[in-house]
Amino acid sequence: MIQHPQSLHEKNRPNLRRYRITALFYDLLDLPWEIIYRKWRPILVGDVRGTVLEAGVGTGRNLRYYHRDVTLTAMDLSPAMLRKAQKRARDAVCSIDFVIDDACLMTSIPSAKYDWIISLFLCCVMPEEVQPLALEQFARVLKPGGHFRLLEMLYSRIPSIRKRQERFAGFVEKVYGARFDRNTLQLVERTPGLEVTGTRFLKDDSYLLIEGTKPAATIE
């Protein structure tokens, strides 16, 4: 059962409209990149346990890789994307609750609920001015001692890769709402209640994995 959000941040309204169309072709458009991503997915989610929020679950390509000891909230802004994710849930072994909600508001999510937050390519899709709101929500809904794992895209410093990214930047922003110039790591580091414990690039210097925790001493 998909639950509907009580509210939507105005800055995210364009993405809601965009994904009504993009959802129809998302998996096909993403196929060249998915050849790479499918190798990462078991590593990114296979070791998590407990209560997990995947913020920006999209069409649900991660769902089959979650362990059976996971109770998952699969959240996305787009009803059209979640409908595709529900179909993929047939291959999953964990318990899944599908929720339509705005990551900047999370009106349907209580505080200190999750052991883990997983978010792949969410912040780079949101307008930068509302990223801090989403990260504040991550801190709110994580349990003290809980963990987060974020994967984001960045402009590369390698000239050949940067040139290729610049060639596709307009298309990526128009179709996905994503940009390569977000400053997600710096924003996470400045978010009260979140502590970065490690970063590494999964490919070249453009796919940045950010891992961290909500310190157990954090008080809501």
Q: Order of strands across the sheet with 207-213?
A: 95-100, 70-76, 50-55, 114-120, 142-153, 207-213, 195-203
Predicted local distance difference test score (pLDDT) of residue 128:
87
pLDDT band, residue 6 (cuts 50/70/90): low
Q: What's this model's pTM, rounded to 2 decimal places?
A: 0.93
What are the respective helix, strand and coil percentages of the chain, to the nearest 5?
A: 40, 25, 35
pLDDT band, residue 4 (cuts 50/70/90): low
Token readout for 138 is 């991550």
Give tens-digit pLDDT for 126-146: 988 999 999 999 999 999 999
Predicted local distance difference test score (pLDDT) of residue 77:
94
Predicted local distance difference test score (pLDDT) of residue 217:
73
Average pLDDT over residues 176-183: 94
pLDDT band, residue 8 (cuts 50/70/90): confident
Q: Which residues contact 202 (CB under 8 A, 6 or more apart)?
A: 40, 151, 208, 209
Give tens-digit pLDDT for 105-117: 999 999 999 999 9
Indicate the SS3 state at residue 18.
helix
Give tens-digit pLDDT for 37-86: 999 999 999 999 999 999 999 999 999 999 999 999 999 999 999 999 99
- Asked if the model's pLDDT at residue 206 lies above 70, the reply is yes
Q: Where are the beta strands (DSSP E) in 102-194?
A: 114-120, 142-153
Cβ 182 vs Cβ 152: under 8 Å: yes
Token readout for 104 is 């900047």
Q: Which domains does the chain have, with CATH numbers?
A: 10-213 (3.40.50.150)
Mean pLDDT, the chain, rounded, equals: 93
Q: What does the angle CA 187 – CA 97 – CA 59 come to, to the nearest 5 degrees?
A: 65
pLDDT band, residue 1 (cuts 50/70/90): very low
